[in-house]
Amino acid sequence: MESRPLATMGARSSVVTTGIVAGIVAGIVFAMFEMIVAAIQGMGFFAPLRMIAAIVLGEGTLEPSSSLTSAVVAGLIVHMMLSAVYGLVLALVVRAWTLLQQPLWLVVGATIYGFALWIVNFFVIAPVAFPWFSMADDLVQFVAHTFFFGTVLGALLAWRIARH
């Protein structure tokens, strides 16, 4: 299959695949940053995955006595699924909005997108649905979402577009 810039891709599946893969890779970078910082802050390396797993397994997952294996597996699945969806959404926006296909604008736009994800996830959704996320350090979450997800996602999509 021939690879072309997102705007000129005839097959919607190419954009879908590009967005999902870029989202997952950015999600891995994001998760590693969060896990390293959590360990440095004394929360434990797997604390971020426990918080994410609690979305589907319940707040009891945050307890040290709960299964670490279940928390890690569920946390990774939920995190990667969300990362894939967020990557797909941005890839579809980039495909529709040609200004964002210029590498600099794409990285800037994706960085803003990561910032918007942080705002929506931590200040709109979490307080209502997942209050345990209030334990998370706001500065770390800002940096993680904005730069370690948004900027990385934008750079990956810009690289994909520039390849051809």
Cα separation, 99 vs 68, whole angstroms: 44
Q: 98-120: per-residue pLDDT in tens? A: 877 899 999 999 999 999 999 99
* Of residues 88, 109, 112, the one with CA closest to residue 100: 109
Which one-letter DSSP state was computed for residue 10? S
Q: Count CA within 13 A, CB hemisphere, residue 45.
A: 3
Q: Which residues, at least 6 apart from 85, have a Cβ–Cβ distance to it below 8 Å?
A: 23
Q: 47-81: per-residue pLDDT in tens? A: 999 999 999 999 999 999 999 999 999 999 999 99
Give the mean pLDDT of the chain.
92
Report if pTM > 0.85: yes
Per-residue pLDDT band for 11 (boundaries 50, 70, 90) equals low
CA angle (22, 121, 100) in 5-degree steps = 40
Indicate whether 2 pLDDT > 70: no
Phi/psi for 92 (5° steps) reads: -65, -35
Which one-letter DSSP state was computed for residue 46? T
